C-alpha cells in the first residue's frame, strides 16, 4: 500500500479511482483494517495518509475520526466510510460508488 504525503497526494488522486485510507500508527482499528484494504487492492488501487504526519490533508477532507476511507476519482472525493467494517460492507459500498467514479473519470 502506497504512502501519500503533501507532495504526492494531489497527483495520486487526480486520475483514475483511488481508495485512500486516513490512518495513524497508534490506531488499533486502523491496523485491523489493513488486511481488508490489502484484499480490496484487487478491485481498486489503495493508498494511505498518516494523519499524524500530514494533518492538513485530513483537514482538507474533514477527516475527524480514523480510520476514514475516501474514494477519490479525478481529484474529487466520491464516497467515504468511517470506522472499521467487515469486508462485505466495503464490497457493497464499492459496488455502489466505484461505477460512478469510473464514469466520472471516463467522461
| Residues annotated catalytic, as ranges | 27, 30
Which neighbouring-strand residues pair with 19?
46, 71
Pairing mode, strands 18-23 and 46-50: parallel
Q: At what angle do helices 87-106 and 28-40 cross, to 10 degrees?
A: 60
Are 37 and 2 in contact by the 8 Å Cβ rule? The answer is no
Of the candidates 105, 93, 81, 90, the one whose C-alpha atom is nearest the C-alpha of residue 38 is 90
Amino acid at each position: 500500500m502506497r504512502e501519500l504525503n503533501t507532495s504526492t497526494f494531489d497527483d495520486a488522486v487526480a486520475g483514475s479511482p483511488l481508495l485512500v485510507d486516513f490512518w495513524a500508527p497508534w490506531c488499533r482499528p486502523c491496523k485491523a483494517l489493513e488486511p481488508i484494504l490489502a484484499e480490496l487492492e484487487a478491485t481498486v488501487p489503495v493508498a494511505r495518509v498518516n494523519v499524524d504526519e500530514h494533518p492538513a490533508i485530513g483537514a482538507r477532507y474533514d477527516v475527524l475520526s480514523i480510520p476514514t476511507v475516501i474514494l477519490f476519482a479525478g481529484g474529487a472525493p466520491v464516497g467515504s466510510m468511517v470506522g472499521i467494517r467487515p469486508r462485505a460492507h466495503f464490497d457493497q459500498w464499492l459496488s455502489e460508488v466505484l461505477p460512478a467514479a469510473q464514469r466520472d473519470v471516463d467522461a
